[in-house]
Amino acid sequence: MDQPEILTPPPAQVVRVRGFVKQYKQHIAVSGIDLEIHKGEIYGLIGPDGAGKSSLMKAIAGVLTYESGTVEVFETMIDTERAAERVKQRLGFLPQGLGLNLYPDLSVDENIDFFARLRLVPEHELAERKARLLAMTRLDKFRARAMKNLSGGMKQKLGLICTLIHEPELAILDEPTTGVDPVSRRDFWAILAELLQERGMTVLVSTAYMDEAERFHRLSFLSSGKVLASGTPAEVHALVPGSMVTFEATPQLEAISRLKTGCTQVEALGPVLRVFTEDTNPVSAAQAITSYLGDIEPQQLHVDKLDLEDVFVALLLREADQPPPSPELPTASVSSVNHGLAIEAKELIRDFGTFRAVDRVSFQVKPGEIFGLLGANGAGKTTVIKMLNGILPPTGGEGWVAGEDMKTAGGAIKERIGYMSQAFSLYLDLTVEENIRLFAGIYGLDRRATNERFAWIVSMAGLQGYESSLTVRLPMGVRQRLALGCALVHQPRVLFLDEPTSGVDPIGRRHFWDILSRLAREEGVAILITTHYMSEAEHGDHLALMYAGRIVAEGSPAAMKAQVEREAGQLLEVVTDQPGLALRQLERAGFAGIALFGAQLHLLSRDPAQDEVRIRESLASEGLHVLGAAIRPLSLEDVFVHRVMALERRDRETTKGAAA
Amino acid sequence: MNLRRVAAVASKEWREVTRDRMFLLLAFVMPAIWMFVFGYGLVLDVEHISFVVVDRDHSPLSRDYLYRFYQSRYFDFQEALAGEGDADVWLQSGRARAVIIVPEKFQERLLSGQPAEVQTLIDGTFPLRADITKSYVIAINNAFNQELLVDFLARTRGLSRGEAQRRTSPLGIEVRYLYNEEVRSTWSTVPALIMFSLMVGSPLLTALGVVREKETGSIYNIYSATVTRLEFLVGKLIPYVMISAVNVAVLWLMAVLLFAVPFKGSLWLFIASSILFVLTSTGIGLVVSLLVSTQQAALIITVVVSTVPTILFSGLIVPVSSLSRASQFQAHLFPGMYYTNITRGTFLQNVGLAVLWTDILALAIYAVVLGTIGYHLFTKRPRT
């Protein structure tokens, strides 16, 4: 293995990209990106699907040609296959798609061995590294298990081991956390941070989760093939000065329309409104909002720092040079007002063979309510939706939708249900209009009703100007709204949305949620939505967290957070100069459950004031400096991680108890 | 070339193929099944021709004449009909392929020295079968004539039957069939089926094996690693060549033991040229896989470029020399024909390198050309 020589220190810049352009036939995927990655940092590429992240990463990994610009890796110009070969021994590349680059019929051990031998890792080193990495990722118990039988989180960790088994100096990881549950995601970042610390590795990583941006040392935010912002999280924050004002206001719809006259970002999160203001001073920011609201009195108002996602949205809006079309919800003839529950699941169970995919799931959704079902891929969310839709018969329990038992309900019930699936279920070779008319035809609407609904959908989903475009050419966000329109063509009273926002950019997602909340508030439609974006779940009125087929927590977002704060304490954020060392020191000092976010450490504390003192003392004893400490609001991800960890602890104890 | 990397790729591929039930089936079970099914099913011998008779004479001589047909292994007697009217029904329904009509006064005319004419109706739908049926009828008829003549001479000239026999046919013809002594069609189709089974199975298996990696994205493991193009291609092909080699052995054993086809030639020549052919057929799969990006496309294109020409132009069913000039030209474009020549030559004819060197050279050229194309088509830094 090549040891870094002492006389010639390795270059500080690992990657240098200038004016990078990538074109696929007529389509320009990336147009002119500049990028520099320093040794030893985690560099993040953030952006929605189709932003150009993968193209850029593949070109840096030397596995994709590009049209113009320069890509230098380890001071080698990557312009030919031959040149790319020269640096490949020092690179590790994990392509996109959870576990897709692994070999399903090979065991964990065999997968790792293959990657190691392909890279000529000596056998004795392989054994030692494998043991260490498997122990670190807690996969050592599953060495003989075929990769196809691993869970999503385990596949992701195995993918990471395989990419790093030859100890590359630069690891290029393309969306390693997409679709993985929050616990596994946190685990993943912890493992990566540890390896970074130990090996002095440099990492280039991409993500579609905006909330992961804080974990990077430096980052670039990509949109439609261009960099909108880059730098450290603090530098990116500085690009958009402002603050976020959150409060409750009734009537909400009236409040929103008043705020929209002056504010660019207004979001409804259940009963809470989040409004962006360029004012950084908390007092004047609050005053500005109150003045827009007029006689509506805001309740529980507080002013926070911007999230990076808010910064990105602001940047995107600045780029777009115009505010997003505010959804006009034309009033349709509301057929009937439902009384009672829109959806009720009672002890739903579904087995596939010996595997229990859904385990005694119960919840209720009222008309006009947005109910979020959260969980990782494979948690059982889609199975629940399928049972409530009557597509899949439950093994046990009952599902009631719009007052009908799904077991006995006939085809008539389908007229009251709208369903939008993960894959958007649109016909890509049809135009927007043809798609809408097709769905109208499927639901048996007559000509007059079809025309009426067509006009309604176009205006509701903001499809003006797209009517005769082929669906395949639409941007993801527009395609998603069209799919929503098609699911609403027959005016259902209950709407099921299965992961509707995967891969859509932040503005598109906010626009989509705007439509959903208006549908719920104005038309009284009950909405059941699943998502693995925890930050997005804040929009729901009521949430249920699913883990391994079970509901592990339920309530409104605020109530769930309050519950965790009561049980485990508040979120304390500590900024230090050497976060990796600090993390280890604090773990030695007896602090449990610390998560590393870039330069910051997060932990739950029942007594933040006292803990802060203890932390400062503990770190000072090792010569580490605390640059700042603050109490931060809990995120839903924190709630999920806390709940699942508690559950896993209990499971371990019961199995131990059973074994004893 | 680093052998450790080749071994890594090859052993990974081998494990994947042998653990995937679908691949395992395609690799080892299908070739044997094709051999079994087609070996028994693809019999081109015209035998057991079902026929009906209309005997208008009902004399001892007419019965004697018809009896020769009843006796023949080439004909299967169905029924004696009362009149010609029913014969159409039998022919149309396919229950009979031939009708033999013996006229009235058949015996009377023959004994009185006058010629008689027996009418034969043959189903001409398949010209090959009709021709062969006709030649059987003529042969039986000739034998009957001969005997009538011998009887006549014996009676009129007072010769012994033996003497009369010699006088009537002074010029005998002795036919000896070489190579396929009993003219059994299995002896000729089974060696060609070895070619067929290899030519269908191995390109498909290879193409799917490579395209699968493109589809899932695991090909990026190869792109991003330091393994060279040659190391990857060699490592990737080794398992498929090995599988095909095992199949050659299995198919050879089936030919010799199950179908009792004699193997008269050099086993070494057969093995060596089989390996060349296996390289060629996996090479086809490799080139197809590098041109397409989905398993469906790989499947369709492989079937179009290798299976269909193999059935039509390789000499499996119709000898290449009997094809039209255009088809003969096409036959020379596909490797199947050359290997068919080699298998038939080594199984039945005991011919050696002196005769088969052109076929072997053709296969070698195929293997080299396909390998070179594959090597140049494969890039670790593609455009998309």
Class in CATH terms, B49-168: alpha beta
Per-residue pLDDT at A481 exceeds 80: yes
* Tokens (6 digits) for A66: 């590009």
> To probe the interface with A, which of B3, B227, B381, B383 has the most A CB atoms within 10 Å?
B381
Q: What is the pLDDT of residue B349?
A: 86
Residues B356, B269: contact at Cβ < 8 Å?
yes
Q: Angle at the Cα of A176 (from A173 to A182), degrees rounded to 5?
A: 145
Q: For the domain covering A560-659, report its CATH number.
A: 3.30.70.980
Q: Give the pLDDT mean for A454-478.
A: 85
User: Coil, helix or strand for B217?
Assistant: coil
Q: Give the pLDDT mean for A533-551.
A: 86
Note whether A91 contacts B224, CB cutoff 8 Å: yes
Q: For the domain covering A343-555, report its CATH number.
A: 3.40.50.300
Residues in A closer than 8 angstroms to B15, CB to CB, are 103, 105-106, 110
Residues linked to residue A244 through DSSP beta bridges, in sequence order: A276, A304
Give the pLDDT band of residue A3 (cuts 50, 70, 90): very low
Per-residue pLDDT at A599 exceeds 80: no
Per-residue pLDDT at A339 exceeds 70: no
Per-residue pLDDT at B60 exceeds 50: yes
> To probe the interface with B, which of A79, A102, A118 has the most B CB atoms within 10 Å?
A118
Global ipTM = 0.79
Q: How close does chain A come to B1, measured CA to CA in Å?
A: 12
A635-656: per-residue pLDDT in tens? 888 888 888 888 878 877 777 6
pLDDT higher for A243 or A406?
A243
Domain boundaries, chain B: 3-43+184-377, 49-168
Average pLDDT, chain A: 85
Between chain A and chain B, the number of residue pairs with CB atoms below 8 A apart is: 95
- The dihedral built from the CA positions of residue A73, A76, A82 and A85, taken in this order, carries a sign that is negative
Provide the 10 A C-beta neighbour count for residue A189.
Answer: 20
* Tokens (6 digits) for A362: 């119960």
Q: What is the pLDDT of residue A656?
A: 64
DSSP-assigned states of every residue in A277-344 = ES--SHHHHHHHHHHHHTTPPPEEEEEEPPPHHHHHHHHHHHHHTSPPPPPP-----------S-SEE
A578-591: per-residue pLDDT in tens? 777 888 888 888 88
For A97, the closest chain B residue by CA position comes to B217
Quote the CA–CA distance of A223 and A14 in Å, as a whole number: 24
B61-88: per-residue pLDDT in tens? 899 899 989 988 889 898 888 888 888 8
Q: In what order do the strands lie in the sheet with A272-277?
A: A266-269, A272-277, A243-248, A299-304
Residues in B closer than 8 angstroms to A93, CB to CB, are 220, 223-224
pLDDT higher for A173 or A224?
A173
Q: Give the pLDDT mean for A611-632.
A: 87
Which residue of B7, B216, B380 is in closest CB contact with A63? B380
| Residues 6 or more apart whose Cβ sits within 8 Å of residue B195 | B277, B310, B314, B316, B336, B339, B340, B343
Q: How close does chain B come to A66, measured CA to CA in Å?
A: 7
A103-152: per-residue pLDDT in tens? 999 999 999 999 999 999 999 999 999 999 998 888 888 999 999 888 88
Class in CATH terms, A13-236: alpha beta
Q: What is the pLDDT of residue B12?
A: 95
Residues linked to residue A273 through DSSP beta bridges, in sequence order: A247, A268
> To probe the interface with A, which of B224, B228, B234, B380 has the most A CB atoms within 10 Å?
B224
Nearest to A173 by CA among A61, A29, A62: A61
Q: In what order do the strands lie in the sheet with A355-365?
A: A355-365, A343-352, A396-401, A404-405
Per-residue pLDDT at B22 exceeds 80: yes
DSSP-assigned states of every residue in A131-192 = HHHHHHTT-GGGTTSBGGGS-HHHHHHHHHHHHHTT--SEEEESSTTTT--HHHHHHHHHHH
Average pLDDT, chain B: 89
Residues A580, A197: contact at Cβ < 8 Å?
yes
CA distances from residue B48 to A13, B95, B97 in whole angstroms, order as listed: 85, 12, 10
Quote the CA–CA distance of A499 and A101 in Å, as a whole number: 24
Residues in A closer than 8 angstroms to B379, CB to CB, are 81
Which residue of B15, B217, B225 is in closest CB contact with A88? B225
Quote the CA–CA distance of A387 and A394 in Å, as a whole number: 6
pTM for the complete prediction? 0.81
| Domain A13-236 identical in fold to domain A343-555 | yes
Decide: residue B290, CB within 10 A, 0-12 exposed, 13-18 middle, 19+ buried.
buried
| Residues 6 or more apart whose Cβ sits within 8 Å of residue B111 | B61
Q: Give the pLDDT mean for B9-13.
A: 95
For B219, the closest chain A residue by CA position comes to A101
- B105 phi, psi to nearest 5 deg: 55, 30
Residues A75, B208: contact at Cβ < 8 Å?
no
Give the pLDDT band of residue B308 (cuts 50, 70, 90): confident
Decide: residue B268, CB within 10 A, 0-12 exposed, 13-18 middle, 19+ buried.
exposed
Note whether B221 contacts A80, CB cutoff 8 Å: no
Residues A310, A269: contact at Cβ < 8 Å?
no
Q: How close does chain A come to B262, measured CA to CA in Å?
A: 42
Kindly give the interhelix angle for B267-291 and B336-344, rounded to the nearest 10 degrees: 160
Q: Which residues of A363-387 are buried (b: 16+ CB within 10 A; e: fewer)?
A: bbbbbbbbbbbbbbbbbbbbbbbbb
A362-397: per-residue pLDDT in tens? 999 999 899 999 887 778 888 898 888 888 888 989
Note whether B381 contacts A91, CB cutoff 8 Å: no
Q: What is the pLDDT of residue B14?
A: 94
Q: How close does chain B come to A158, measured CA to CA in Å?
A: 14
> To probe the interface with B, which of A26, A28, A101 has the most B CB atoms within 10 Å?
A101
Q: What is the pLDDT of residue B168?
A: 78
Residues B1, B9: contact at Cβ < 8 Å?
no
The pLDDT > 70 percentage for chain B reads 100
For B382, the closest chain A residue by CA position comes to A64
Domain boundaries, chain A: 13-236, 250-305, 343-555, 560-659
Q: What is the pLDDT of residue A327?
A: 52
| Residues 6 or more apart whose Cβ sits within 8 Å of residue A131 | A140
For B227, the closest chain A residue by CA position comes to A118
Which residues of chain A are at the B interface, by a Cβ-Cβ cutoff of 8 Å? 24, 58, 61-65, 80-81, 84-85, 88-89, 91-93, 95-97, 100-103, 105-106, 110, 113-115, 117-120, 146, 162
Q: How close does chain A come to B197, measured CA to CA in Å?
A: 27
Pairing of strands A542-547, A550-555: antiparallel
DSSP-assigned states of every residue in B125-145 = SSHHHHHHHHHHHHHHHHHHH
Q: What is the pLDDT of residue A206?
A: 93
Give the pLDDT band of residue B127 (cuts 50, 70, 90): confident
The pLDDT > 90 percentage for chain A reads 29
Per-residue pLDDT at A91 exceeds 50: yes
Q: How close does chain B come to A102, measured CA to CA in Å?
A: 6
* Tokens (6 digits) for A334: 């509301």
Give the pLDDT band of residue A498 (cuts 50, 70, 90): confident
Which residue of A63, A96, A162 is in closest CB contact with B223? A63
Quote the CA–CA distance of B33 and B45 in Å, as a whole number: 22
Residues A339, A526: contact at Cβ < 8 Å?
no
End-to-end CA distance of chain A: 47
Residues A222, A53: contact at Cβ < 8 Å?
yes
Give the pLDDT band of residue B225 (cuts 50, 70, 90): very high
B146-196: per-residue pLDDT in tens? 888 888 888 888 778 888 888 777 787 888 888 877 777 888 889 999 999
* Tokens (6 digits) for A383: 């199975």
| Residues 6 or more apart whose Cβ sits within 8 Å of residue A439 | A486, A487, A489
Task: Determine if the peptide bond prior to A251 is cis (ω within 30°).
Answer: yes
Q: Which residues of B111-150 are buried (b: 16+ CB within 10 A; e: fewer)?
A: eeeeebeeeebbbeeeeebbebbeebbeebbeebeebbeb
Pairing of strands A13-24, A68-73: antiparallel
Q: Give the pLDDT mean for B323-350.
A: 89
Quote the CA–CA distance of B343 and B330 in Å, as a whole number: 20
Which residue of A92, A101, A110 is in closest CB contact with B217? A101
Q: Give the pLDDT mean for A9-25.
A: 84
Which range is least confidently modeled, A82-86, A251-255, A428-432?
A251-255
Residues linked to residue A595 through DSSP beta bridges, in sequence order: A602
Quote the CA–CA distance of A115 and A104 in Å, as a whole number: 14
> To probe the interface with B, which of A64, A86, A117, A170 has the most B CB atoms within 10 Å?
A117
Note whether A85 contacts B223, CB cutoff 8 Å: no
Which residues of chain B are at the A interface, by a Cβ-Cβ cutoff of 8 Å? 2, 4-5, 7-9, 11-12, 15-16, 19-20, 216-218, 220-228, 379-384
Q: How close does chain B come to A85, measured CA to CA in Å?
A: 6
Which residue of B7, B218, B226 is in closest CB contact with A85? B226
Residues in A closer than 8 angstroms to B13, CB to CB, are none
* Tokens (6 digits) for B300: 């369709």
> To probe the interface with A, which of B21, B223, B229, B379 has the most A CB atoms within 10 Å?
B223
Note whether B224 contacts A105, CB cutoff 8 Å: no
Quote the CA–CA distance of A272 and A267 in Å, as a whole number: 8
Q: What is the pLDDT of residue A331?
A: 54
| Residues 6 or more apart whose Cβ sits within 8 Å of residue A389 | A401, A406, A417, A419, A496
